[in-house]
Structure 1
């Protein structure tokens, strides 16, 4: 048994383009500040524990996991079972003080150091990164529907032997790609795609509120992720590699898998 206490910080949007068993990639941080990636996590399982317990991000859980022998990235584990114990949830008081105490124990500020550490022998593949400046938020058109071969993979997966689910039903595809362009402490720029579940769910919520107007929905997403975040929030990025591009030793195998965005702490001056 290898039961680990994990603070869940990330769930990526379910993508049929991933391997059979990587339907949803879930990541979190251990008590010592190190990262862990856990997959496969069936979408239906996440939905069920949310329904039963009110589970949400920044919740401490205990889960029996083992290192994956088919993934060279040291953070990657798979669950031995889906018997999750929900412990507690960290709130947002005092500018996310409790969350900061775990999520900001190890923070990268240099793109050069990050990419060096992602190479052998460390193969670092999950980090918290603090950009010096966020320059742009990019929206690009994408395909309206999942590819037929991806739909077939979804039907063939054996993820659902233990979890009740309908393999014919696909989660809706967002017809856009979202990216941030940002600079590190040395002014070196990066443009990375955002694969966090929250941004895609925000799009669907905005689309519904805009009564199907895609342009209005996109503007609302941009307003939050660019205008509001930059002006009112102290933004950190949770970065993770895709196994395909990390194995190929791409120039930058990372994508943005989440944001950490407490409000900027207000500073008061004393009038003496």
Structure 2
């Protein structure tokens, strides 16, 4: 295994796996700007000092994930994981811009990106939409899949290394299932229209927190999320972190989803000496 230093950009909302328990897909960039995906990561089971926030630097030993053909995918040795530089409490957008965009190509054409993905050249990228058309919320199952929970119980009994289904259900009460799929409809630089789901941890937790503040009123919670992701973020220099799923990478016409959003202020216009003439 090789130790890597990673700047964390992506943490997806927890999902339940048929093989593991609660999992978070994590991705970031190395110091040379190349992407890396870490999976599996049972995030809430990490030690407190290992729980990395977005925009922090971590170090961890990794090995290529032989069960995942996507070039950026690695398996982490979680025993070696350490947070070496936490995200600053005061937002430093210029530093984040420098780290993210310094050695990173920003895609603006979706067809170019999909073509590279189909050639297995890429499965993670920074994307700048030309125009956001709408933000949407569609209802989905409000409960975790009982078939997956039952399968986990079966595996735990066979191997005697996993949690019981009651323990798993109890843990998932702490991380509620978000009963909506959130998505952006947008145009790329060619005018191509696309709709992509947003799987980011932040949007899931925003909904959960808004639901609590709204006294359980789902409509109010969804509206608060829409205000944040549409009305507020459109006033910023919005970029997407896009990623494919292993299941859909080779079969979907567009295998990408939005696994993170980056919304710094628009860069300030630098004073040009010729403007003074």
Shared fold per TM-score greater than 0.5 = yes
Matched, 1:234 2:233: no
Q: What CA distance in whole angstroms lies between the structure 2 residues aligned with 1:224 and 1:261?
A: 11
Q: What CA distance in whole angstroms lies between the structure 2 residues aligned with 1:263 and 1:62?
A: 29
Match of 2:145 in 1: 147
Report 1:66-145 matches (<5 A). Answer: 66-91=63-88, 96-104=93-101, 105-122=104-121, 124-145=122-143
When residues 218 and 70 of structure 1 are mapped into structure 2, their CA distance, relative to the original with a 3 A threshold, is: same
Q: What CA distance in whole angstroms lies between the structure 1 residues aligned with 2:143 and 2:210?
A: 19
Report 1:55-66 matches (<5 A). Answer: 55-66=52-63
Post-superposition shift, 1:90? 4.5
When residues 57 and 240 of structure 1 are mapped into structure 2, their CA distance, relative to the original with a 3 A threshold, is: same
Residues 90, 99 of structure 1: 8 Å contact kept: no
Residues 90, 98 of structure 1: 8 Å contact kept: no
TM-score, normalized by length of structure 1? 0.87
- The CA RMSD measured in Å over matched residues stands at 2.7
Report 1:209-228 matches (<5 A). Answer: 209-228=213-232
Unaligned ranges ≥5, structure 2: none
Q: What CA distance in whole angstroms lies between the structure 2 residues aligned with 1:243 and 1:268?
A: 42
TM-score, normalized by length of structure 2? 0.86
Residue-pair matches, total: 264
Post-superposition shift, 1:44? 2.2
Matched, 1:167 2:168: yes
When residues 154 and 19 of structure 1 are mapped into structure 2, their CA distance, relative to the original with a 3 A threshold, is: closer
Q: What CA distance in whole angstroms lies between the structure 2 residues aligned with 1:117 and 1:268?
A: 35
Q: What CA distance in whole angstroms lies between the structure 2 residues aligned with 1:112 and 1:42?
A: 34
Within the candidate set 193, 197, 202, 1:189 is matched to 193
